[in-house]
Structure 1
């Protein structure tokens, strides 16, 4: 038979499993928010542990707990949460009403009960360690939740930056590898001028270089927090010494250059920083979508399409068409990009829909923002490891297209002029010849001169 304990709150009583580390507030949240069937992001939980640890250390240093064993147990419980050791006990749904109060209370109850266990007491003995009077001492959901969210976002963004850098470097490697390969450059999907495959890969690398730099700069936006502001940024119920010292502890514990908002009310009621960061994530998603689609086009066919490059073959592409292999990694990356763009719209709407002194939709902002960073982190790693690093060039196909395309005529203009190029095009059409064959037949160029005009150096030269 399951052992039970009884807890009380403003609304009455509830019976809970006797050994549960969460309490009555969490139990009500479980009942009220069966929405996503997905618990709070694990990095947010760990960051919440770091916030609670900094608060506990500050309260201990200021002597608010006369019982030193109790203070040490609270610190130890918070430390364990910061290390991810208590994640399984944070059971509330990631989407919830109350601006994150359910998450904060779940954290408070788990830390209180874990501290009680460390003191050889039973869970629920809140006269000794209280979720509200001790764990939440000098705090509010209003300041702890957004602070934890910013810490979690910074941690994940640092990982994303490294993955974007790896993707950038993979394209830079292909830039060097494919530098000698001349190919057709296209505009509006039509043959335009000659370029090199390496030059194309280099342009992709530059896009991700900008993404990496923008993501790195996100930390500057997110490092300003409102911890110590308690209710709506007023600092209500918190002594000045706590307000001025707690952030020092959090900064030291996290090794993040956190700064207290100069205006704690602004730091509490305005969430535009999350919109800004989400916009930067959307820019990265935009590049991923464009470039993944480009690779799909360049590898299309492979026999009846462009076929300029070969993507790594990872799995059979059809249950009915033998031999078909699909570009599954670029397709997966594209879907991640679309999802991140959707999340950006959600974050924008949620941020602008906040009312007065607090944004009630912070849980939705948190869920969407951290999900976007996670998705981009995994997509960039997948793109690098299972696609870009394994791309090979179909050099013969590229050369055949150069020989046959009208785009090649443009490369001849500096040497023979527009009118003679026009004559070569007429010869090619009239006699059904390649551009190279028509050029030689025209007598305007010999083979050596033609080849010299379509070398990688010639087509990449800036100006004449």
Structure 2
């Protein structure tokens, strides 16, 4: 037999495991929302701990609890949650009705019971520490949930920015390493003009630099919060001193430049900032998808494809084809990027379908938004460490392509003219010669002149 305790709410009574830190509201939510099988994001739980800690500290400083022992226990419990020590007790599904009320109540119950534990009191003794009257004092789901989401997002975005910086630097290293390698540049997947492998890598680095800067600026967009607005942004039930002080305390605790929204009504009902930042995440995803597909093309083969670069070999690629090695990291990065693009559409639709004073779809917004940051954060780290940093160039293949491709002819036009270049192409086609062999046979260029026209410096020079 499992020992239980009885708890009650507006709907009725329910038996709860005696040693559970959660209570009746959590139990009902677990029963009502067996949807995704995915828990609330750990970063959101930790951020919720920060929010509850700031609220508890503010309420304590304002003298709303005469019992210092209770106040200290609540603060300690909230601090533990902010450190990720109580994550296992947040049981509700990430997908839930009620604009996040189930998450907030799960948090409230866990903190109340953890405070009771700290005080060496019986779990469920809500006359001493109440999930609603104490832990949720001067708060609502509608201001604590979006605030916790923004704190969690800012922290994850900081990690993403660092990972993108590392990936950018990895491409910059390859830019230097491959600066001397002349190769065929392609447009519409057809041979176009000469470039260098280093310049190709530099373009990837520059794209990631833009992503890193845009993501850095996202913190400015997310730092405005509606904490203290309570239900709809009017601050109903919260004293003025709490409203004026609680955001300052949260800013101090988190070391994030948080600011209270000047219009708490707007800050509660409108969540378009998540659409804006999600769009920036989508932009990053498009770059990662493009780069990963380019690397797959450039490494294709290895004997019947482009074969101009070699990716690190990580695992056997086939259960039937011996010796086949697939570009698994770029493939994983590409799939992560596609998922982020899908999440962006989810976030946009969920944010646009809020009604009147509140967006009821905050759980979906939070789940999709934080998942996108996680996917980009993890994919960019993986891309750097298991792929880009280990890329090597196949110089022989690049040189062969240059010597055999009609794209090289364009580099000769400034020296001998369009008409003579056309003659050289005919020699190539009619005699099976390489571009260099045909150019020398035509008598229009010497070997030294030809070589000077296809050096890394020549093909990268801005203008003629």
| Class of the TM-score when normalised by the shorter of the 2 chains | over 0.9
> Residues 352-399 of structure 1, C-alpha deviation per residue, up to 9 Å, x if partnerless?
111111000000000001111111111001000000000000000000
Q: Using the alignment, how far apart are the partners of 2:389 and 2:140 within structure 1?
A: 48
Q: Using the alignment, how far apart are the partners of 2:323 and 2:89 within structure 1?
A: 49
Question: Where in structure 2 are there 5+ consecutive unaligned residues?
Answer: none
Q: Using the alignment, how far apart are the partners of 2:65 and 2:463 within structure 1?
A: 75
TM-score, normalised by the number of residues in structure 2: 1.00
Q: Using the alignment, how far apart are the partners of 1:188 and 1:207 within structure 2?
A: 20
Q: Using the alignment, how far apart are the partners of 1:180 and 1:454 within structure 2?
A: 11
Find the counterpart in structure 1 of residue 77 from structure 2: 77
Cα distance, 1:38 vs structure 2 = 1.0
Find the counterpart in structure 2 of residue 278 from structure 1: 278
2:409 aligned with 1:393: no
> Residues 116-158 of structure 1, C-alpha deviation per residue, up to 9 Å, x if partnerless?
1111101110001000000000000010000000000000000
Find the counterpart in structure 1 of residue 264 from structure 2: 264
Task: Give the 5 Å matches for 1:115-126.
Answer: 115-126=115-126
The DSSP-based 3-state class of the residue aligned with 1:233 is coil
Cα distance, 1:214 vs structure 2 = 0.4
Cα distance, 1:432 vs structure 2 = 1.2
| Count of aligned pairs between the two proteins | 464
Q: Using the alignment, how far apart are the partners of 2:265 and 2:411 within structure 1?
A: 62
The DSSP-based 3-state class of the residue aligned with 2:193 is strand
Find the counterpart in structure 2 of residue 408 from structure 1: 408
Q: Using the alignment, how far apart are the partners of 1:19 and 1:122 within structure 2?
A: 9
Task: Give the 5 Å matches for 1:210-225.
Answer: 210-225=210-225
The DSSP-based 3-state class of the residue aligned with 1:372 is helix
Task: Give the 5 Å matches for 1:54-453.
Answer: 54-453=54-453
Q: Using the alignment, how far apart are the partners of 2:207 and 2:194 within structure 1?
A: 21
> Residues 144-188 of structure 1, C-alpha deviation per residue, up to 9 Å, x if partnerless?
000000000000000000000000000000000000000000000
> Residues 170-207 of structure 1, C-alpha deviation per residue, up to 9 Å, x if partnerless?
00000000000000000000000000000000000000
Q: Using the alignment, how far apart are the partners of 1:246 and 1:288 within structure 2?
A: 39
The DSSP-based 3-state class of the residue aligned with 1:231 is coil
The DSSP-based 3-state class of the residue aligned with 1:306 is coil
Find the counterpart in structure 1 of residue 36 from structure 2: 36
TM-score, normalised by the number of residues in structure 1: 1.00
Q: Using the alignment, how far apart are the partners of 2:320 and 2:229 within structure 1?
A: 62
Q: Using the alignment, how far apart are the partners of 1:97 and 1:321 within structure 2?
A: 49
Q: Using the alignment, how far apart are the partners of 1:240 and 1:210 within structure 2?
A: 42
RMSD: 0.5
Q: Using the alignment, how far apart are the partners of 2:34 and 2:337 within structure 1?
A: 28
